[in-house]
């Protein structure tokens, strides 16, 4: 037993150091994960702060800039007879509105995709448009509901 006493004491002493080292490692890991978590929480808050416009000073030092352009509103409806079709300029005139037909204009006829060439002067049409500065861009163009009946009558007459 005398031989074992120094070994047991040494083993206990090393065991205590091992537990201390393990605890230090766990505390270090916990601190590291806490810092990472705090950084992940702070990054979105900082990016949202960048998105907000800067506060304007109470008294401007320089002359005021021109007013910002008016906010774009949703699409506005239109309907009526086509007064003019300009295929080269990609425009149609409905009443007093001259509407630009763009690549984003959704054109349908009889429930199927169509083109500007499918419409002629005198056709009743409807749809919607958006104002873009001084331009009126058609977003949707389709025959008016009453126009389908007239086109069926024309087909029967032929």
pLDDT tens digits for range 117-154: 898 999 999 999 999 888 899 999 999 876 554 555 45
- Judged by DSSP in three states, 68 sits in coil
Quote the pLDDT of residue 20.
Answer: 81
Domain count, the chain: 2
Q: Are residues 18 and 82 in the same domain?
A: no
How far is Cα 76 from Cα 85, in angstroms, rounded to an integer?
A: 20
pLDDT at 40: 80
> Measured between alpha carbons, how far is 21 from 111 in angstroms, rounded to an integer?
76
Residue 57 falls inside a structural domain: no
In the numeric block, which tokens belong to residue 18?
């091992």
pLDDT tens digits, one per residue of 82-115: 999 998 899 999 988 999 999 999 999 888 999 8
Q: Are strands 97-109 and 76-86 parallel, antiparallel or unpaired?
A: unpaired
Is residue 106 included in any domain, yes or no?
Answer: yes
Query: Is 128 among the domain residues?
Result: yes
pLDDT tens-digit readout, 2-15: 555 555 555 555 56
Task: Render pLDDT for 55-64 as a digit per residue (tens, 0 to 9).
Answer: 555 555 544 4
- Domain CATH number, residue 128: 2.40.50.320
Pick the closest to residue 140 from 74, 42, 84, 49 (CA basis). Answer: 74
Report residue 126: phi and psi, to 5°: -150, 175
Residues 136 and 99 in one domain: yes
Structural domain boundaries, residue 6: 1-51
- The answer to the question of residue 63 being in a domain is no
In a domain, 2, yes or no: yes
């Amino acid at each position: 037993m005398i031989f074992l006493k120094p070994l047991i004491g040494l083993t206990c002493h090393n065991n205590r150091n091992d537990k201390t080292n393990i605890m230090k490692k766990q505390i270090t890991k916990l601190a590291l994960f806490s810092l990472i978590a705090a950084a992940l929480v702070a990054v979105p808050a900082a990016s949202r702060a960048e998105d907000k416009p800067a506060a304007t000073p109470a008294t401007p030092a320089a002359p005021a800039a021109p007013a910002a352009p008016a906010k774009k509103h949703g699409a506005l409806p239109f309907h009526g007879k086509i007064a003019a079709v300009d295929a080269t300029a990609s425009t149609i005139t409905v009443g007093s509105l001259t509407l630009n037909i763009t690549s984003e204009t959704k054109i349908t006829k009889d429930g199927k995709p169509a083109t500007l060439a499918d419409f002629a002067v005198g056709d009743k049409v409807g749809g919607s448009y958006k104002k873009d500065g001084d331009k009126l861009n058609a977003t949707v163009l389709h025959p008016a509901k009453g126009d389908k009946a007239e086109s069926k009558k024309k087909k029967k007459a032929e």
